[in-house]
A and B are shown apart, each in its own frame.
Chain A
Amino acid sequence: MSHGHDNPLDHPEVQLASPRGYLVGYVFALAMMILSLGLVKSHALPPAGLMTVLSIIALVVILAQLYFLFHLDLSETQIWHTVALVMTVPLFIMAVGLTIWMFYTLHMRTMIPGLG
């Protein structure tokens, strides 16, 4: 039985923290936000293309933040956190995807065309 809990700074999760990682994560997220804002303000793409590009940027930012800010990776310390996160992906798809599907059919069946 290890007695590492006496000093919180000894925890491996805490050891993973580094100013450089936080800074990189922060600057990257900020840059992506400015890029998105610029794209939208200048109408750089047609609406459908804009939506796609923004979604991809959002996904990349999420992954970058998970890596740089939450330090999720496949190391022994973090593997369970990463597994837990990956497990939420199907749940997310189910909860959001099935909801969209359901509300779409609901909309088609109950709304008067042209009013909704």
Chain B
Amino acid sequence: MLVDLQGPWNPLFGRLGLLLEVHYNNPVLFFAFELSVVVGVILLFWATCARKWGYIWREWLTTVDHKKIGVMYIVVGLVMMFRGFFDALMIRSQQAIAVGPDSPGVLGAAHGYLPPYHFDQVFTAHGMIMILVAATPILVGMMNIIVPLQIGARDMAYPYLNALGLWLTVVSAALVMIALFIGDFSHAGWVGLAPLTELPYSPGVGVDYWIWSIQIGSVGTTMGAINLIATIIKMRAPGMTWGRIPVFTWTSMASNIIALTSFPVLGVTLALLTFDRYLGTHFFTVGLGGDLMMYTNLFWIWGHPEVYFVVLPAFGMLSEIIPTFSEKPLFGYVTMVIASMAIAAVSWSVWLHHFFTMGAGPNVNAYFSIATMLVGIPTGVKVFNWAFTMYRSRMRFDTPMLWAIGSVFLLISGGMTGMMLAVPAINYIVHNSVFVIAHFHNMFLLIVYAAFGAVTYWFPKVFGFTLDERWGKRFFWFFTAGTLMVFIPMYTLGFMGMTRRLDYVSHTAWWPLLNAEMVGIGLYAISIACFVMQLAVSIRDREKNAVGADAWGTSRTLEWATHSPVPYYNFAVTPIIHDRDEWAWRRKHGLTSLKPDRYVDIHMPKNTAVPLVLGVLSLAFGFAMVWRIWWLAAISAIAMLLVIIYRSFDKDTDYIIPASDVERMEKEMLARAERVEGNAPAPGGAAGGAYASPQAPSKRHQGD
């Protein structure tokens, strides 16, 4: 052992002996454990009884289909968002209870019900989960589904790599969930405050869970970024020039350039921290020439580009939703693209604003302050473009549009407070206060709003039926009420001087506002129930809500030019692109028929279990490294290497769908479209002619 480990260790079980020493005993944990076990058992039981294992294995676990991989990404993201929400509920209720010296304390806590060590783990898990295994997978999943469809590709450039990225992200989420029940999680904040993350100050396994979870997940995200960039550059359909790429694909491109260039920095930073904790080096301690400030610096060199990595796809989603429900092309396409790329470029020179108070000279702070404010220019361009798209248009307030408009409002308020924080003088006052927390939650909620809007918007494309409008609107309004009730008081408390990460609030004058936030989190809880109801009702009414290719009637981009749900080969024949808004162009020219002149063979990638196997092995590797079970880590690492070598010699990775099979499947889908659209569009398109006229107007406006 190169480092001074506290507690038991033996060669066979590593540090698992630590589990025998129970640190705290909290019924909340048991509730979570029971919930996970019961839900898990029910799902396993259902799958076995319904004989679904073959189906799940063939259609989901071994798939390389970008749409199914995207759906799995989003499901993982939503489940983890639910977990992150529970953490938020615990943080808010603790702060609402533990106010003032007379506040009650239960379950071993002096005040409230969470002792400091547990409370710290809760907020660390909340931050890490929401950013890295909730928001990121939802956005990556969305890009996965939509980008190949928008550019007319059969699949991603590297379907196998795509599946591998998914399973590594799942491993990341799985490690966080395992940390909940086996051992504990980091208590050093999601940013990993140095030197608190060093072994002498965090001798448990919590920080190791945090390190390996992020490390494995970030490898997956980097692979996804490589894949999406290659797909956008190389896999575009004929006629899809750079000037015709839909804006969502453009923002995905910008976003993944950021991911590709910044995630390796995170990987290196965490690797150096790993050396400190496992090998006894001193990169981020003050001993032997290390520098703990360097950790903060390196972390934010990744951390701030990461913020734009998650916000840019959200901007792309807004740019698709708003024109559709404004029944009008997007205003300022070129400026939108330039703005996206400008944000990506500036993202690399603003990171120091996360630690203006660290002690850097005034010139340094001024430089980063100005660079940060520069971001406001392209972002402002985007807001004005969306506003001009809506100006004098025929706006429809379907659920996706409500989410989109809510998102724009949040962007404006979050952007304003961001401008305030970009001023070092203000930053010195509000640094580490809940004002900062309210600001970045405001920004992240913009992404969540856009993502929920995008899920509602593209749901019919993937599954062939729309989500229920009534429950969707309830979901939206309760969620919005929750947002206002939580974060307006939080901004206020920030100005009143409340600092972040408090497990005990000494100032009783803040109690009313903390209670208001508690009401807000209750509204969020109701909104989640509405979301679950929305899903349930929509699945129940899926026959009634079934839609054809163009689910909203006024969609504009290429993904609407194939069937809903999209067949696994995406397009019967590779589409030829004529215009920036291809589907709107075809509608205008009466070319909405999905029946091509003739069918051709389609070349497709084969399913493979290798990514799943690599995922399982990397889970074993991560778990073994956390608990320092060296033999298991070595075996799983060698096994991973062997599987990768084996796969590289496998030449049987693709197959051809004969044209006759394509024709048969296409006929079925055309028949389905005829059935759900009622009046079958004649070849050449019944809805041609009028500019942006709804193709299936009969069922749309009823919800408004």
B469 to chain A, nearest CB (A): 41
Whole-angstrom CA separation of A8 from B293 in the bound complex: 46
Asked if B233 is at the interface of the complex by the 8 Å CB criterion, the answer is: yes
Residues of A within 8 A of B349 (CB): 94, 98
State the Cβ distance, A94 to closest chain B Cβ, in Å.
5
In whole angstroms, how far apart are the Cα atoms of A8 and B650 in the complex?
Answer: 10
Say whether chain B's binding surface is mostly helix, strand, loop, or mixed. helix
Residues of B within 8 A of A95 (CB): 265, 301, 348
Instruction: Check B352–A98 contact: CB distance below 8 A.
Output: yes
**A3 contacts B603, CB within 8 Å?**
yes
Cβ contacts under 8 Å, B301 to chain A: 95, 99
Closest B residue to A90 using CB positions: B348
Residues of B within 8 A of A20 (CB): none
Which stretch in B184-192, B246-254, B356-364 binds the other chain? B356-364
Q: Is B654 an interface residue (CB 8 A)?
A: yes
A6-B651, A88-B261, A95-B265 known; A109 and B348 CB under 8 Å?
A: no
Q: How far is the CA of A106 from the CA of B348 in the complex (A)?
A: 20
Instruction: Assess the B364–A105 pair: CB atoms within 8 A.
Output: yes
CB nearest to B600 among chain A residues: A1
Q: Please, which residues of chain A bring their CB within 8 A of the CB of B361?
A: 105-106, 108-109
The yes or no answer to B297 lying at the interface (CB within 8 A) is yes
Q: Which residue of A lies closest to B601 (CB)?
A: A1
A110 lies within 8 A of B359 (CB): yes
Q: Is the interface on chain B under 10, 10 to 19, 20 to 34, or 35 or more residues?
A: 20 to 34
Number of A-B contacts (CB under 8 A): 50
State whether B654 touches A94 (Cβ < 8 A). no
* Residues in A neighbouring B358, C-beta threshold 8 A: 106
- CB <8 Å contact, B348 and A91: yes
The chain B residue sitting closest to A2, CB to CB, is: B603
Question: With A1-B603, A98-B349 in contact, do A106 and B359 touch (Cβ < 8 Å)?
Answer: yes
The answer for the CA separation of A90 and B346 in the assembled complex, in Å, is 11
A108-B361, A109-B359 as given contacts; A7 in contact with B651, CB under 8 Å:
yes
CA distance A59 to B359 in the complex (A): 33
Contact B293 A106 (CB under 8 A): yes
Asked if A105 contacts B348 (CB within 8 A), the reply is no
**Interfacial residues of chain B within 345-392, with CB under 8 A of chain A in the complex:** 348-349, 352, 358-361, 363-364, 367
Task: For the complex, give the distance between the alpha carbons of A1 and B234 in Å.
Answer: 12
Chain B residues 632-682 with CB under 8 Å of chain A are 648, 651, 653-654
Bound Cα distance A5, B603 (Å): 11
- State A101–B257 Cα separation when bound (angstroms): 26
Residue among B358, B360, B363 with the most chain A CB within 10 A?
B360
Whole-angstrom distance between the Cβ of A58 and the nearest chain B Cβ: 19
**How far in angstroms is the closest Cβ of chain A from B227?**
14
Q: A7-B651, A108-B361, A109-B361 are in contact. Are A102 and B352 (CB under 8 A)?
A: yes
- B648 to chain A: which residues have CB within 8 Å? 8
Q: Can you add 11 more A-B contacts, CB < 8 Å, to A80-B233, A87-B257, A95-B301?
A: A1-B603, A6-B654, A94-B349, A95-B348, A98-B367, A99-B297, A102-B360, A103-B294, A105-B361, A106-B358, A109-B360
Pairs of residues from A and B, 4 with the lowest C-beta to C-beta distance, nearest first: A105-B361, A102-B360, A102-B364, A106-B359
